[in-house]
Amino acid sequence: MAMRAQSALIGMFALCAAAASAQSLDHLACAAGVHCSGMLQSEEARIALGIDGQAEAQRAFIDASRDFPDPVWRCAAAGECAGGMTQNEARVLIPLPEEAFAAAEVMRRGQVQNDPPPPAKAPAAPRPAGKPAAKSPGIEVEINQPGPKEIDLRKPLPTPGGEIQPQDGPWRFANGSPHTSGKCLPGLTAALAGQMPAPQSGPVTFARPFNASQIIRSPQVAWQRIAPNHWRGTLAASQGKPMEMVWVVRVRSATHMEGESVVRVSVPSACIVSTPFTFARQ
C-alpha cells in the first residue's frame, strides 16, 4: 500500500513541475493541427516555431507530449484514471484546452500525416511581346514572411504601478531540486529528483499587461496577484482536499522570473514538497 501511494505521489509531484515547463505544448499542438486557440492558424504557429511542414510539427508535438506519462494522457483524454487521480487533475497537469485532448491522444498513438503535395499549377498563358505585366488593382501592403526580422533592442520600461513587463523572445524554463518537509514517505525526495523534466526552451509572446496564467495554462488554476510582480496560482479542484497544488511566481526583471511549485499532502501524513524553478530569457 505504501509503495503504491509513493508511486502515485511521485507521478503527481513530477507532473506538477512538468506542467510549468511544458508551456509550449499548446503552440506545438496548434502547429501540428491538433487544436489552435483564438485566431492563430496552424501555418502561423509553424512559422513562429521555425518548423517546416505539418509532419515535422506532429513529430515535435508527439516528442514533447512524452514529458507526461501515458497513464496521465489516458486519464485526461478518456477518463481512464488510476492511482486516485481525477480527469480534471490530469487535464490541469497537461497544458492543453479541454477540446484538444481527444485529437491529441489520437496523434500520440502514431497517426502522423504526411504533408499534402502542392496543387498542380496550370502553365501561364504566354504574354504578348513588348507588353509589361499588368498589376492587379489595389494597394500594395507588406505581409509577415519567414526570415530575418527587426529586433527591438530597447530596454522595456516597467508598466505603471511598478509592474515589470517581460520581454518577448526565446525563454528557457528549468526546474531545481525538490525539497520535502514533514512526514513524507521514505525515499520520496530521491525519487522525485529522478523524475524532474529536462530544461525546455521556446519562443514566448507575453500578454500586456503580464499575467502569470501564461506560465501554467489551465482554466482550472486560479491566479491571484499578491503584490507587484508577485503571483500565486492554486489548483481549484484541490482546495479542501487531501492534496493541494500551489504555484508562486515572481517577476524579477524583464528577462528573468523565478518561482516555486508546492504540493501539500495530508494523507497518510502531512508532507510538503516544494520545487523551485527559473524562467529566463536567452
Give pLDDT tens digits for 230-264.
999 888 766 666 778 888 899 999 999 999 888 88
Mean pLDDT of 74-102: 78
Under the banding of pLDDT at 50, 70 and 90, the label for residue 16 is low
Under the banding of pLDDT at 50, 70 and 90, the label for residue 88 is confident
- Checking if the pLDDT of 280 tops 60, the result is yes
Answer whether 206's CB lies under 8 Å from 168's CB. yes
**pLDDT, tens digit (0-9, with 9 covering 90-100), for 148-171:** 544 445 454 445 468 999 999 999
pLDDT computed for residue 125 by the predictor? 59
Domain ranges (residues) in the chain: 2-115+164-281
Mean pLDDT for all residues in the chain: 74
Mean pLDDT of 128-134: 56
- Checking if the pLDDT of 103 tops 60, the result is yes
